[in-house]
Amino acid sequence: MNNESRTIGEEEFEKYLTTAGYPFEYEKVWPGKTRRPDYTLTRNGGTFLFDVKDFDPKLPVLGFGQIEMYSGIRRQIEAGRQKFKEFKEFPCCVVLRNNGSMFARIEDPHTVFGAMYGNVGFAIPVYVGGGPPPPDAPQVRQTFLGGAQMLPNKNTTISALLTVRDVSIEGETQLGVIVFENAYARLPLPRDMLNGPYDVRYGRDGNDLACVFWGSELAEEGK
pTM of this prediction?
0.84
Compute φ and ψ for 97, nearest 5 degrees: -140, 130
Using pLDDT thresholds of 50, 70 and 90, give the confidence band for residue 141.
Answer: low
Q: Quick one: how far is CA 37 from the chain centroid?
A: 17
CA distance 189 to 181: 7
Helix (H, G, I), strand (E, B) or coil at 203: strand
What gap in Å lies between CA 13 and CA 7, rounded to an integer? 10
pLDDT tens for each residue of 159-198: 999 999 999 988 899 999 999 999 999 999 999 999 999 9
- Output the CA angle 85-87-93, nearest 5 degrees: 90
Separation CA 129–CA 27 (nearest Å): 61
b vs e for 51-77, b when ≥16 Cβ sit within 10 Å of the residue's Cβ?
bbbbbeeeeeeeeeeeeebbebbbebb
pLDDT value at residue 59 = 54
- Higher-pLDDT residue of 119 and 134 is 119
Tens digit of pLDDT for each residue in 107-124?
Answer: 999 899 989 998 765 444
CA atoms within 13 A on the CB side of 53: 21
Q: For the segment 25-78, what is each residue's pLDDT rounded down to a tens digit?
A: 999 999 999 999 999 999 988 999 999 999 988 755 544 444 467 889 999 999
- CA–CA dist 70, 55 (Å, integer): 13
pLDDT confidence of residue 142: 53
End-to-end CA distance of the chain: 33
Please provide the average confidence, as pLDDT, over all residues in the chain: 85
**Residue 21 CA, distance from chain mean position:** 21
Q: What is the pLDDT of residue 123?
A: 45
**Residue 143 pLDDT > 80, yes or no?**
no
Q: Strand pairing of 141-144 and 120-123?
A: antiparallel
